[in-house]
Amino acid sequence: MTGLKSFDEYVALAEAAHGHMCAGQILGLRLALYGVKLLGLDDPAGKDRKRLITFVEIDRCATDAITVVTGCRMGTRALKFRDFGKVAATFCDLAENRAVRVTARESSKARARELHPEIGDKNQQQMFAYREMPDEELFDSQWVRVRIEPHDLPGFKAPRVVCEDCGEGISFRREVARDGRTLCRGCAGERYYEPL
Ligand SMILES: [Zn+2]
Ligand SMILES: [Zn+2]
């Protein structure tokens, strides 16, 4: 028995989660379904949920759709974001210790134009085409090795430490040793914000 839903069910779930339906969502759904298919997982968000970790490479529409299919979320540490600006994701099966990276092909948009010249609206045109194009036409895939450190896995337990500069608590070994002190990454110079 498969835990995978019908494509239309995924579309409805993605639309609810993302706030609208768009070509990026269709592409993301297809990309994730292809990824879990290549791994041979038929219930990624159910019985297989503890074995799957997904790395996404863009923070756009497709990513929301990928989380709908895989069930991988930031809050469970099963979704990892690497900001490469690419519609691509790597699906890691912890049980089989293998991973496959799937990328959207640049040719997809042009192919959508070819398939549905009668649809003027680009988003609609792509939504239609991305539903029906075969996986191999939409995506490239490659088997890869992903080194996931124990402290990056879901369920990792380690004592929290406190930054000796700001006093804030730090989990998951994100602390930095600097001149004999234990600092958070912010105090060690990686701050993305400026205190006012
Ligand atoms: Zn969107
Ligand atoms: Zn600090």
Which pair of tokens denotes residue 141?
Answer: 């895939």
> Are 65 and 14 contacting, i.e. CB atoms less than 8 angstroms apart?
yes
Q: How does DSSP assign 78-93, residue by residue?
A: -EEE-----SEEEEEE
The single residue listed with the structure tokens 């041979």 is 40
pLDDT at 155: 87
For residue range 117-150, what is the model confidence (pLDDT) as tens digits? 999 999 999 999 999 999 999 999 999 999 999 9
Q: Is 194 a residue whose pLDDT tops 80?
A: yes
176-178 and 169-170 strand pairing:
unpaired
Give the distance (Å) from ligand 2 centre to CA of residue 187. 4
What local confidence, expressed as pLDDT, does residue 128 receive?
96
Ligand nearest to the CA of 65: 1
Residue 1 predicted with pLDDT over 70 = no
Residue 165: nearest ligand to its CA? Answer: 2
| Ligand closest to CA 127 | 1
Distance of CA 56 from the midpoint of ligand 2 (Å): 28
Ligand lying nearest the CA atom of residue 87: 1
Distance 158 CA to ligand 1 centre (A): 37
Query: Following DSSP, what letter does each residue of 31-42 receive, concatenated?
Result: HHHHHHHHHT-S
CA 23 – ligand 2 centroid, Å: 42
Q: Considering only CA atoms, which of 158, 177, 196 is closest in space to residue 187?
A: 177
Q: Give the tens place of pLDDT for each residue, 9-60.
A: 999 999 999 999 999 999 999 999 999 999 999 999 999 999 999 999 999 9
For residue range 142-188, what is the model confidence (pLDDT) as tens digits?
999 999 999 999 989 888 999 999 999 999 999 999 999 999 999 99
Which tens digits make up the pLDDT trace of 173-182?
Answer: 999 999 999 9
Element (H, E) at 137: helix 135-138
Instruction: Say which residue the tokens 């691509």 belong to.
Output: 88
Q: Please state the pTM of the whole predicted model.
A: 0.93
User: Using one digit for the tens of pLDDT, what is the confidence trace for 74-111?
Assistant: 999 999 999 999 999 999 999 999 999 999 999 999 99
